[in-house]
Amino acid sequence: MKKTNMHAILFLLCTLTLGACSKQANYDYDNSKPVYQKADLQTLRQAPYPIGAAVTPSTLKSNANYRNTVTTEMSSISGENAMKMNAISRGRKSYFWDDADYLVNFAVENKLRVHGHTLIWYKHTPSWVSSFSGTKEDWKTIMKEYIQDVVGRYKGKVASWDVVNEIINDDGSLRDCIWLQKIGPEYISLAFQYAHEADPAAILFYNDYGHEYSHARRKKAYHLADSLAKNNVPIHGLGLQMHTNISRAGNDIRYAITAAAVTGLKVHVSEFDVAVNADKKLTAINETVALQQKELYRVAAKAMLDIPENQRWGITMWGVHDPSSWLSPNPDWALPFNASFEKKPAYDGLLQGFYQGK
């Protein structure tokens, strides 16, 4: 079968089966206008799909400008670290909830959607898990307990989860992790199943990187997501991390988003940032690189606008302002707000992408 025909059929099938999973979200953003004019858009919160940021509880508590930027501009938040297993799990059935609770309560108060990042990841396995000893069934049980305790606690409050994060190698094989070693490849479908049982309304994602630069990674990710969906595993979306930089062609970003939508799954650009100083030569951001960065923000915003509306989970930036980026010690000036929380050209790039202009 020709590739385009296969994609079209896959798209149709997935749209039909997964469309039934969409639900009314309990967050507040204005999606009433299908075509935007520049004047319509005063903040990112008015974007035609959710725009979010990864946040940390400590900075939300200590920095009023950071907090105000989140509540004014964002429709959605992800915990940058607070919802990872090493942050929550202190032992079997022993949890540290303070930071995750803080984020969820903050989001409820401010009508923000919460995206849970991440349930299962090969990195930062808590030491009690690494040293756990048991049968395959015992390993399934501890994974189920963890996933269901976390997802169950935030049922109805966390709209979506990265169920599995970074699960493939560059050659497309499954990445080694303790869950693969102890349970086998079915740990992936089980993780989705356990999360779905705990909150049947939550939108469940497979999140990974490299969609915009590696055909092998992209192809494997689609294939994996597609085979999970075909086997009735409750997967609803593909997360494209998209930590990128100004050397990337806009077409690569556009293609990654457009091609992900062909699966019929929801698409979340889940960790977006555009570094301008990848070779570490700059000591300050300048207009040339700021405009190159703006263009990639515009392309991503427009590409998300161009996929079917029911598949647009949105764009989440990996931080709020340049100093809160995980890249900041370098520095890379990768986000749309500068150190003084002023809007950079990248911010205008997003707005332009929303209203389809240039």
Write down the least CB distance from residue 59 to ligand G3I, Å: 10
Cβ neighbors of 335 (< 8 A, separation 6 or more) are 273, 317, 318, 319, 320, 321, 322, 324, 325, 344, 346
Write down the least CB distance from residue 170 to ligand G3I, Å: 15
Neighbours of 243 (CB within 10 A): 18
89 sits near ligand G3I (criterion: CB under 6 A): no
Neighbours of 220 (CB within 10 A): 21
322 sits near ligand G3I (criterion: CB under 6 A): no
Write down the least CB distance from residue 269 to ligand G3I, Å: 13
Find the part of the chain contacting ligand G3I (CB under 6 A) among 79-87, 184-192, 222-230, 346-354. 79-87
Residue nearest ligand G3I, Cβ-based: 326
78 sits near ligand G3I (criterion: CB under 6 A): no
Q: Which is nearer to ligand G3I, 99 or 186 (CB)?
A: 99
- State yes or no: cis peptide before 308, omega within 30 of 0: no
Mask for 155-174, x = binds ligand G3I (CB under 6 A)? ----------x---------
Extract the tokens encoding 19.
């469309």
Q: Given the structure tokens 């009735």, which residue do they identify?
A: 232
271 sits near ligand G3I (criterion: CB under 6 A): yes
Q: Given the structure tokens 């940058």, which residue do they identify?
A: 80
Neighbours of 265 (CB within 10 A): 28
Q: What is the number of alpha carbons within 13 Å of residue 37 lying toward its C-beta?
A: 2
Backbone φ, ψ for residue 348 (5° rounding): -65, -35
Query: Rounded to whole angstroms, how far apart are CA atoms 118 and 82?
Result: 9
Please pick, among 73, 80, 166, 212, the residue that the annotation labels catalytic: 166
Write down the least CB distance from residue 32 to ligand G3I, Å: 33
241 sits near ligand G3I (criterion: CB under 6 A): yes
Neighbours of 193 (CB within 10 A): 18
Backbone φ, ψ for residue 76 (5° rounding): -150, 145
State which of residues 15, 43, 71, 81 lies at the interface with ligand G3I (CB under 6 A).
Answer: 81
| Residue 145 annotated in active site | no
Q: Which is nearer to ligand G3I, 29 or 161 (CB)?
A: 161
Extract the tokens encoding 222.
């689609």
Please pick, among 73, 80, 271, 295, the residue that the annotation labels catalytic: 271
- Residue 219: closest CA among 231, 208, 204: 208
Q: Which is nearer to ligand G3I, 199 or 271 (CB)?
A: 271
Mask for 193-232, x = binds ligand G3I (CB under 6 A)? ----------------------------------------
Q: Which is nearer to ligand G3I, 167 or 228 (CB)?
A: 167
Cβ neighbors of 88 (< 8 A, separation 6 or more) are 82, 95, 96, 97, 100, 150
Question: Beta strand pairing status for 89-91 and 94-95?
Answer: antiparallel
State which of residues 252, 326, 328, 330 lies at the interface with ligand G3I (CB under 6 A).
Answer: 326
| Residue 166 annotated in active site | yes
Residues lying near ligand G3I in the complex (CB under 6 A): 80-81, 84, 124, 165, 241, 271, 326
Show which residues are catalytic: 166, 271
